[in-house]
Structure 1
Amino acid sequence: MLMFCPTCANTLGVEEGLNCLRFSCNTCPYIYNISRHMGIKIYPKLKEVDDVLGGAAAWDNVDSTEERCPKCSHPRAYFMQIQTRSADEPMTTFYKCCNHQCGHRWRE
């Protein structure tokens, strides 16, 4: 919890006083002794992560090619190309094995 000085509206710092901790202002003589535990934990709500490659639906309308799967050696694989780097770099080709029991994914 961030505390502000009621006199000058600057943020208060915590320092050690006589037998206790206290809030003190760095620009004016305001001091407030802390007599009890003061604190609140607020956890931010995290944004949901979007799948960069479009999720499972991205593979619905793709073509297949003669690319051998490195895992099961199936002779065909689905593929799609996505620009993952700057425009002067070549596109990245993503593959998914056509063997539905394997489904291995890799890229070039």
Structure 2
Amino acid sequence: MYDHEGFLQRGVIVRHLALPGCVRDSRNVLKILARLQKETGIPFVPSLMSQFTPFYKAEAQGLGRRITTYEYRQVVDEAIRLGLTDGYMQEKSSAREEYTPPFDLEGV
């Protein structure tokens, strides 16, 4: 999967966006991924993301806030517990407003 310099040459990156209030869902997703990896022997690289930023009507769907450090840590800890450690865990700082595009449909 990786070359001698540590660059991914082939494989699958499975990206998972952890959402606020949905730690149980994230744990279930990780358990399914770990089971599939064990059953099939097909390796993949997990990428856990924390940058969810609520917009528009997100609050009406129960998603009116960003994920907390505590919630995200629970998701990362579950990945580690399941042996899904050959991947990427996002820094919480990536959820800062300056990294979030305006979503104003400009350029569409």
TM-score range, shorter chain: under 0.3
More strand by share: 1
TM-score by length of 1: 0.18
More helix by share: 2
Higher relative contact order (Cα pairs below 8 Å, separated by 6+ residues)? 2
CA radius of gyration, larger in? 1
TM-score by length of 2: 0.18
